[in-house]
Amino acid sequence: MSTLSPLSSQPAAQSCAHPPARRMLLASQSPRRRELLSSAGVVFEVQEPGIDDAELRPGPTVNAEQFAASLALLKAQSAWRRHARHSAQPATLVVGADTIVVKDGRMIGKPLDAADAVRIIRLLQGGSHQVVTGVALLDTVTGSRDVFVDKARVALGPLTAAQIDDYVASGQWQGKAGGYNLFERQTAGWPITVQGDQTAVVGLPMQKLLPRLARYGLQPAGPTSPLSTPPAPVTPAA
C-alpha cells in the first residue's frame, strides 16, 4: 500500500500576470464538485484522474491538511497526463481536489462498504468533526501551481439507528468522504450545522477558489448563484 509524504513545497501563483487560462480541466469524478462549478457559472471540462485514493495512506508525519493537499496535487497531475495524451488542444488550467474528514484526530475517507458506512456515521453522529479540502491548480502554460487548503467544522446531532440503517440502505454514502454529502443531508432534515464555508464540506471551497480562477483569467460565463443554499441533490457517480 502506498504512502504519501508532505509536499516539499507549494509555490503559489502570486502574480496576476498569468496568461488567460480559458480552458479549465476538473480532475475529479465527483458530481458534487461539478455541480458547484456549474452553479457558479464556471465553464470547464472533466478528466477523471484514474487514482484510487483508498489505496493511499499518509506517512507517519503527515497531517490531514498535508495529505489532502498532496492528493489534490496528485490527482491534478495524473488527470493532466491522461488528458494531454488524447487532446489536440489541451486545457491550460487543471484543478484537482480531495476531501478528508477528521474525527478526534483520526482521518476518515470514503467508506469501503455498507458496514464501514454504518461505522463512520455512528462515529460522527452526536458530536462535531472537521472537514479538510485540499485544492491544487496547475497552470500548464507556465508550469506554476497553487495548492491551498480550506477547513470547516461540522456538528452532527444524534441520529436514530433506523435513520442510519435507512440512509446506508439508500446507497447515498458511496463515494463521499465521511459517508455523507452536506447539502443532501440538510435537505433530508438531518441535525447538521457548519462553521465555515459549506462548499468546502461538499468538496470544493468556492469562496477561496473563485478569486483564484479569476486571477487565471477564468470568469463565470453566466449568472452566478450565491451557493448559500443547497443546490438540488445530485446522483453519486457509479
Grid coordinates belonging to 80: 493532466
Looking at the DSSP bridge assignments, the partners of residue 223 are: none
Q: Which one of the listed residues 53, 98, 146, 150 is annotated catalytic?
A: 98
Kindly report the backbone phi and psi dihedral angles of residue 152, in degrees, each rounded to the nearest multiple of 5, phi listed first: -145, 155
Identity of residue 209: L
Count the alpha carbons within 13 Å of 122 in the hemisphere toward its beta carbon: 10
Catalytic site residue 52? Answer: no
Tell me how far CA of residue 31 lies from CA of 97, 223, 224, 228, in angstroms: 13, 20, 18, 18
Kindly report the backbone phi and psi dihedral angles of residue 208, in degrees, each rounded to the nearest multiple of 5, phi listed first: -90, -30
Which residues are known catalytic residues?
Answer: 98
